Amino acid sequence: MAKQSTRSKYLATISLIIMGSGFLVSIPVQDHIIGRLLHGGFEAGLVGGLADWFAVTALFRHPLGVPIPHTALLPKNRDKMVSALIHMLENNWLTKESIREKLNEVEITKKLIPIIETEIRSEPIKKGAVSIMEQIIRSLDAEKISPFLEKELKDYLYRIDAGKILHSGASQVIAKRYDEKTIDYLLAELEKWAAKEDAKEKMGSIAMELLENTKSDGFMQFALQSLKQFINKEKLGQILQSFLMKRIPLLREPDNEYRQIVLTRIRTELADIDNRKELVKEINDWKEQIIDDWRLSGQITELLLQAQQRAVKFINEETFYHQYIFPLMKRFIDDLKTDPAKINAIENWLQKQIAELIESNHSKIGKLVKENLDKLDTESLIHMMENNVGKDLQWIRVNGAVCGFMIGVVLAVLKMVL
């Protein structure tokens, strides 16, 4: 553009030189008709060229540096010119309505979808997504979150009713036949213990102690005293051991009368356990006391910090983005492409957001233009304008010289005719 303006300026100057040279050269030959016509043409062309040079130059600066009134119009009226330009931009060329109308013609969502489909595979998007997730995870303050989690956990535990838990547990015990399995386990352990020698001695000692401490009158007292003379703790232990070793296998049989009595009693108690108000209240009180004394904040903070470190390490693994994030985004885009309602909803949202941005930031267009123009000094601004519109202005000078030449010739003809 600068080269074109320079060439135009040279052309305008050359045209002025031609007219001036022609005027001087044609002075001696005015006696001839051709010479008179040429002299009139060059004279008028010189005047027209000089007049247009003065007019064009007066727009940007004082001609020949002489401060002639009403010259250097643009430098003197810089503020007016900038204000007029901003006014045209805001109120004529780039109005809110024209911008919104133009944007409404563009289906933003449909144009964005192919771009997003391509970009989500790129390395910058991958790094950006991972970086954002990492920043979010690292920004979580475990010490601030842990009291909230502790309160929520305790509130949840407070709301748990011991009666419902007991009823549910009892129902599971009966349904899974855990009562029978418990009895079988206890019988097996009892059998193992009863078969030991020290168990026999222990049972004999306890039985002998009971006999010695039993108080009775009359015949019963006499019978006990007589029994003590014929039996000792070893015999008593052997008798009890033999009794247990014979009875335990019988109690393991499913149809054993005593086994069924025990199971029936256990199941009756389990089925009615949630109606035992005192037991339920006692368990609830015990539960609340444990919760009150439970200090979880430190443990929760430690768990959160460990989870935070593991999460950061996990999302930075090479396969994380392509294995988890990319399929999620791809599935969302595929669903979006097949659902016009979602596309319309997103389009409406985008158009609304853009309209709000235009509404709140439209005045910044003019401010931005003014800020950029204010960065330029007057000389630079004039130079920039000359480079952009100088070509057309220089052609005014050329046209002035040419038109002046033609008008001068016509006037010379008329002068000769008249």
User: Residue 285 has which token pair?
Assistant: 């009180």
Mean pLDDT of 76-105: 68
pLDDT digits (tens, 9 = 90+) for 217-274: 554 555 555 555 556 777 777 888 888 888 888 888 888 888 888 888 888 877 777 6
CA dihedral 241, 243, 246, 249 (to 10 degrees): -80
The residue ranges of every structural domain in the chain are 2-76+376-417, 162-290
User: Residue 102 has which token pair?
Assistant: 């133009």
Mean pLDDT of 63-90: 66
Q: What is the pLDDT of residue 78?
A: 65
Q: Taking CA 413 as the corner, what is the angle to CA 412 and CA 415, rounded to the nearest 5 degrees?
A: 60
Task: Provide the CA 142 distance to its chain's centre, in angstroms.
Answer: 20
Which residue type does 73 have? L
- Tell me the C-alpha distance between 210 and 203, whole Å: 11
Residue 329 and residue 120 in contact, taking contact as beta carbons nearer than 8 Å: yes
What beta strand segments (E) does 31-187 contain? none
Task: Provide the CA 88 distance to its chain's centre, in angstroms.
Answer: 39
Mean pLDDT of 340-350: 86
Q: In the predicted model, is pLDDT for residue 310 greater than 90? A: yes
In angstroms, the Cα distances linking 42 to 13, 21, 25, 392, 402 are 15, 8, 10, 23, 9
User: Residue 251 has which token pair?
Assistant: 């109690």
Determine how many CB atoms are found less than 10 A away from the CB of residue 228: 12
Q: In the predicted model, is pLDDT for residue 2 greater than 50? A: no
Residue 220 and residue 182 in contact, taking contact as beta carbons nearer than 8 Å: no
Q: Taking CA 285 as the corner, what is the angle to CA 281 and CA 287, rounded to the nearest 5 degrees?
A: 115
Q: What is the pLDDT of residue 201?
A: 83
pLDDT digits (tens, 9 = 90+) for 27-64: 777 777 777 777 777 777 777 777 766 666 666 666 66
Q: Phi and psi of 333, rounded to 5°?
A: -65, -40
Mean pLDDT of 338-354: 85
Instruction: Name the one residue in this structure whose structure tokens are 């009615």.
Output: 272
* Stretch among 66-75, 120-129, 261-270, 313-322 having the lowest mean pLDDT: 66-75
Q: Which of 170-174, 181-185, 223-227 has the highest mean pLDDT?
A: 181-185
In angstroms, the Cα distances linking 108 to 119, 346, 389 are 16, 9, 36
